[in-house]
């Protein structure tokens, strides 16, 4: 750590020798005393007392002027959202409060390491808040040296107060949000959690704007398949490139008397738009099958983990007794971008026109497994399809896990064929 700068500032504020201050600072820091605390104790030694020489109340900084790298700031803000969750911090479970503040100039995320007791809608003067950087953006850190007081006048903001959100508005990093949704799918899973084996719920929720996956880390009985609920204080994380809703012990779930209307349609995007979005839980694209890749058709999977394997070798489980399965990995292209569509066994059976037993028979007859992939290739390549599924993007590229796969009836060639078939019917 560079102690020259703080030592010089402190020495000139206290009017004492810089070298002496620097040596004191260095020895305190060596004993892992935090910098702020070290500075305080040096001020006390020289009779500077708490807060040092700058007794005047610091001026509030506008939120759009806060940048990573600033030290401690005072802000006048409106509380937009308050979320609560526990995290593991230095081996201890700690409850933190997070959300967004707003003022006339913008909004900013904050994390409060203790409960200051403020709520959405409150107008506050927050003194001595730390500034840290999170994914390139500044965030406020409210700790034990931060002061929080109610402002005398309401702080104006153009941002929406309270966390009520449509699913389509949510993005990873959101905290303290409230949603009204229908539970479309839910299952109980046992996981190895922080405190041993725990039961959690996972599934899919929907409203009129979108469908999203969710996890309830502290199962709420009201979260039941088909039920409509208002869920307050959820946070959003990224799961395989798309937003995922997290319900916790701090969330409240209230059943709704009226059923929440849900969308049946996935947003339809070009492949370029879908890829640019960074991942989507539910999307529909219309594209041509350019190629059916190796690893399609009759494949083997590890019975332990389900990974596709070759020659009975799983890269995690070593030598295993592989299980036969059907799948397709197809390259989709719509002229704007390409993605790899992963089609599971059920849909592959339909496309292939037979199940695993049929495929094995065909492979035995031809003495070549590849005949299955070849049949699929002849069926798919060159035609246009309407494909719905979940798009995830990672370092290996863009993969669309397919839920629905159908011939594109808006494809001019297909339509022409259909019309001709009718004419000649
Ligand atoms: Zn395995």
For 369-396, the pLDDT digits (tens) are: 999 999 999 999 999 999 999 998 877 7
> Of the candidates 218, 332, 202, which has an alpha carbon nearest to the alpha carbon of residue 275?
332
- What is the SS3 assignment for 8? helix
Predicted local confidence at residue 362, as pLDDT: 96
CATH number for position 121 = 2.40.50.140
Quick one: 289 and 347 in the same domain? yes
Of 85, 118, 150, the one marking the end of a domain is 150
Identify the bridge partners of residue 405 per DSSP, sorted by sequence position.
Answer: 387
Q: How far is the CA of 64 from the centre of ligand 1 (A)?
A: 50
Predicted local distance difference test score (pLDDT) of residue 199: 94
405 shares a domain with 281 = yes
Q: How far is the CA of 323 from the centre of ligand 1 (A)?
A: 11
**pLDDT tens by residue, 27-53:** 777 767 777 777 777 777 776 544 444
Instruction: Note the pLDDT of residue 15.
Output: 72
Are residues 369 and 363 in contact, defined by beta-carbon separation less than 8 angstroms? yes
Q: pLDDT: is 112 or 196 the higher one?
A: 112
Share of the chain above pLDDT 70, in %: 92
User: Do 291 and 361 belong together in one domain?
Assistant: yes
Q: Which domain holds residue 86?
A: 63-150
Mention every residue, 6+ apart, whose C-beta is less than 8 A from residue 34.
Answer: none
Same domain membership, residue 355 and residue 305 = yes
pLDDT (0 to 100) of residue 420: 59
Element (DSSP H or E) covering residue 38: helix 35-45
Is residue 236 over pLDDT 80? yes
Using only C-alpha atoms, what is the Rg of the chain?
29
The last residue of a domain, from among 212, 229, 255: 255
Query: Which residue matches tokens 């005047």?
Result: 56
Pairing type for strands 242-247 and 211-216 reads parallel
- For ligand 1, the distance from its centroid to the CA atom of residue 310, given in whole angstroms, is 11
Query: What is the C-alpha separation between 108 and 98, in angstroms, rounded?
Result: 11
Distance from the alpha carbon of residue 17 to the mean position of ligand 1, in angstroms: 66
> Tokens 């669309």 sit at which residue?
400
Q: How far apart are the C-alpha atoms of 123 and 101, rounded to whole Å?
A: 9
Distance 394 CA to ligand 1 centre (A): 21
pLDDT tens readout for residues 57-87 = 578 899 999 998 888 899 999 999 999 998 8
- Give the whole-angstrom CA distance, residue 59 versus residue 63: 13
- How many other β-carbons are positioned within 10 Å of the β-carbon of residue 269? 19
Per-residue confidence band for 109, with pLDDT thresholds at 50, 70 and 90: very high
**What distance in angstroms lies between residue 303's CA and the mean position of ligand 1's atoms?**
7
């Amino acid at each position: 750590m560079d102690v020259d700068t703080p030592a010089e500032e402190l020495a000139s504020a206290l009017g004492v020798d810089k070298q002496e201050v620097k040596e004191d600072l260095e020895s305190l820091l060596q004993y892992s005393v935090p910098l702020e605390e070290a500075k305080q104790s040096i001020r006390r030694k020289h009779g500077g007392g708490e807060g040092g020489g700058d007794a005047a109340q610091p001026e509030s900084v506008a939120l759009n002027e806060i940048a990573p790298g600033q030290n401690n700031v005072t802000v006048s803000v409106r509380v937009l959202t308050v979320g609560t969750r526990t995290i593991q911090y230095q081996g201890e479970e700690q409850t933190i409060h997070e959300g967004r503040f707003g003022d006339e100039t913008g909004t900013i995320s904050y994390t409060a390491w203790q409960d200051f007791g403020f709520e959405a809608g409150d107008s506050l003067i927050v003194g001595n808040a730390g500034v840290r950087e999170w994914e390139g953006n500044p965030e406020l850190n409210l700790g034990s040296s931060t002061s929080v007081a109610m402002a005398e006048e309401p702080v104006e903001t153009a941002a929406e107060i309270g966390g009520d959100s449509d699913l389509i508005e949510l993005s990873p990093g959101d905290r303290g949000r409230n949603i009204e949704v229908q539970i479309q799918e839910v299952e109980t899973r046992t996981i190895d959690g922080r405190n041993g084996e725990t039961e959690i719920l996972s599934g899919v929720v929907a409203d009129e704007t979108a469908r999203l996956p969710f996890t309830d880390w502290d199962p709420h009985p009201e979260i039941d398949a088909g039920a409509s609920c208002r869920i307050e204080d959820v946070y959003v994380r990224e799961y395989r490139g798309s937003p995922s809703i997290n319900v916790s012990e701090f969330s409240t779930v209230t059943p709704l008397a009226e059923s929440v209307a849900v969308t049946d349609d996935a947003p339809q995007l070009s492949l370029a738009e879908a890829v640019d979005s960074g991942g989507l839980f539910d999307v529909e694209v219309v594209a041509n099958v350019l190629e059916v890749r190796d690893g399609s058709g009759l494949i083997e999977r590890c019975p332990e983990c389900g990974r596709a394997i070759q020659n009975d070798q799983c890269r995690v489980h070593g030598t295993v007794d592989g299980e036969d399965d059907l799948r397709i990995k197809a390259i989709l292209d719509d002229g704007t971008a390409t993605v790899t569509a992963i089609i599971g066994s059920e849909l592959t059976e339909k496309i292939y026109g037979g199940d695993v037993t049929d495929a094995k028979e065909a492979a035995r007859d031809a003495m070549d497994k590849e005949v299955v992939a070849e049949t699929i290739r002849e069926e798919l390549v060159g035609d246009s399809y309407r494909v719905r599924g979940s798009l995830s993007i990672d370092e290996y590229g863009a993969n669309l896990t397919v839920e629905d796969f159908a011939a594109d009836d808006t494809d001019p060639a297909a339509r022409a064929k259909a019309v001709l078939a009718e004419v000649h019917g």
